């Protein structure tokens, strides 16, 4: 008797570990082996297959198989956002994502045109890593929750070095640093004491998982977001300069 395969209308759900309603990755692989073929499945090792599968989160197995067999592939993030699985994202948030993606490309970071599984942070996630590097250190992630809510998380270090700039930033930037809750409780010795910095004379000691989130995102604020990011992640050769639309001083020493 052959293996019992998943049904074609199974929606791909990928999270860390297996739960009662999430098939193990091997089950997805078995289905696609039959639906697409040996060459496709065998062309990827387990790690590569897992990364690819994460990028298909929200689609049915039939949709994935049909797209492959018909030669469909989204050429860029803008085309990817047209897929029906992303209809839960508002048009204004899609406009932000597209504008942010373009600006990050100019800074030297990209998402490899992948909107993957949100794992434990939401339904979907877009990860921006440094281009032309093997390890692709992450500068930012966009999280998309089940209800379509979109948030931006920045991965920043040595915050005090840029505090003079942060303290005079508009609220939609400063609030990511000056917030209540999320304090480090030294629950994990590997990451304690978390993120430590001083803002407006107040010492902050935040859990790594609570920093640094930007909400109520807008494409109109892209220059503010990028002016902040370019201070923490300066490009070796900058072909673009970000001028804050909110009037924040942009001549501070970088």
Residue 66 in this model has a pLDDT that exceeds 80 = yes
- The pLDDT of residue 86: 94
Percentage with pLDDT > 70 across the chain: 87
Predicted pLDDT of residue 1? 47
**Contact of 162 with 195, CB cutoff 8 Å:** no
DSSP states of 190-218 = TTTT-EEEEETTEEEEE-GGG--EE-S--
CA distances for 178 relative to 153, 171, 208, 214, 233, angstroms: 15, 9, 14, 12, 21
pTM: 0.80
The pLDDT, as a whole number, for residue 102 is 96
Residue 248 above 70 pLDDT? no
pLDDT, tens only, 11-48: 998 665 545 667 888 889 899 888 888 888 788 888 88
Chain mean pLDDT for the chain: 86
pLDDT at 15 (0 to 100): 62
Say whether pLDDT at 133 is over 50.
yes
Where residue 249 falls among pLDDT bands split at 50, 70, 90?
A: very low
Q: Can you tell me the distance from the alpha carbon of 107 to that of 230, in angstroms, rounded to the nearest whole number? A: 7
Residue 150 bridge partners (DSSP): 144
Cβ proximity of 50 and 117 under 8 Å: no
Q: Is the pLDDT of residue 187 over 90?
A: no
**Stretch 61-74: mean pLDDT:** 87
pLDDT number for residue 22: 77
């Amino acid at each position: 008797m052959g293996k019992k395969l998943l049904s074609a209308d199974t929606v791909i759900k990928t999270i860390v570990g297996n739960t009662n309603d999430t098939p193990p990755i091997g089950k997805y692989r078995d289905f696609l082996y039959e639906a697409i073929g040996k060459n496709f499945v065998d062309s990827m090792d387990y790690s590569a297959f897992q990364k690819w599968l994460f990028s298909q989160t929200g689609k049915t197995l039939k949709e994935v198989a049909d797209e492959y067999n018909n030669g469909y592939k989204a050429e860029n993030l803008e085309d990817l956002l047209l897929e029906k699985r992303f209809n839960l994202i508002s048009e204004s948030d899609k406009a932000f994502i597209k504008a942010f993606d373009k600006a990050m490309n100019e800074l030297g970071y990209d998402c490899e045109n992948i909107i993957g599984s949100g794992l434990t942070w939401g339904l979907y996630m877009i990860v921006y890593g440094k281009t032309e590097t093997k390890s692709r250190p992450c500068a930012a992630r966009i999280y998309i929750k089940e209800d379509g809510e979109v948030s931006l998380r920045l991965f920043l270090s040595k915050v005090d070095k840029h505090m003079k700039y942060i303290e005079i930033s508009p609220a939609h930037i400063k609030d990511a640093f000056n917030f209540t809750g999320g304090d480090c409780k030294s629950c994990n010795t590997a990451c304690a004491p978390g993120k430590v910095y001083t803002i407006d004379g107040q010492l902050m000691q935040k859990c790594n998982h609570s920093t640094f989130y930007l909400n109520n995102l807008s494409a109109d604020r892209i220059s503010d977001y990028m002016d902040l990011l370019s201070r923490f992640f300066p490009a070796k050769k900058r072909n673009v300069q970000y001028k804050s639309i909110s009037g924040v001083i942009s001549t501070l020493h970088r």
